[in-house]
Amino acid sequence: MPKKDFVEIRIHGRGGQGAWTASIILAEAALVEGKYSQSFPEFGPERSGAPVTAYARIGPSRIDIHAGITNPDYVIVIDPTLVHMATKGIKENGKIIATSAKSVEELRNELKLSDGIELWVVDGVKIAMETIGRAIANTAMLGAFVKATDGKIISLDSLIQATKNVLGPRLSEEAVNKNIEAIKRAYEEVKKG
């Protein structure tokens, strides 16, 4: 049995919202810090708008497990309509980082969370619209993830560098900078409940 000195992260989004890209950025941020990582998606019907789940593992040593993640330590929800999926299989001491216009208390009650699960909420879609100009909250939610984990999994600086590394070849410098602005805003605005 491989040792488990890594964390497991599950990301929920819809096709076209960058869930897999978010997991790639997380994995890249881990590499920036000299850690080991994995990133992989799980697609249903491959079409825009269909639910997509992506995964990442991050740890200080080589990760020898290559199976899907069924009991994540952390769940990131990019699309507010998928927040109901956040609780499936999450560890009792896990954390959910969700985009929602609802308050932390409203969402906690809606999800019927036990006291052992931390909930972090930020309106990532609003932040994305105001910074990027599109309702794609993947990078914003990564900023919220860093805050929710006190920078212990990956740091904000590593996340910003990884965002440049991953998005730089795909997007204009202006678009990359807007994504970094979304990361920083969500980092500052996310609330714990």
Convert the pLDDT of each residue in 80-112 to its tens digit.
999 999 999 999 999 999 999 999 999 999 999
Can you give the residue ranges of every domain in the chain?
A: 7-192
Do 14 and 50 contact (CB within 8 A), yes or no?
yes
Give the model's pLDDT for residue 50: 85
Give the model's pLDDT for residue 82: 96
Q: What mean pLDDT is predicted for residues 166-193?
A: 97
CATH topology of domain 7-192: Pyruvate-ferredoxin Oxidoreductase; domain 3 (3.40.920)
Helices (H), 33-168: 104-111, 124-131, 138-148, 156-167
Residue 49 predicted with pLDDT over 90? no
> Which pTM was predicted?
0.95
Q: What mean pLDDT is predicted for residues 67-72?
A: 92
> Residue 154: in which H helix or E strand, if any?
none
Residue 45 predicted with pLDDT over 80? no
Residue 47 predicted with pLDDT over 80? no
In 3D space, the residue among 85, 14, 88, 81 whose CA is nearest the CA of residue 50 turns out to be: 14
In whole angstroms, what is the distance from residue 132 CA to residue 144 CA?
A: 16
Confidence of residue 59 (pLDDT cuts 50, 70, 90): very high
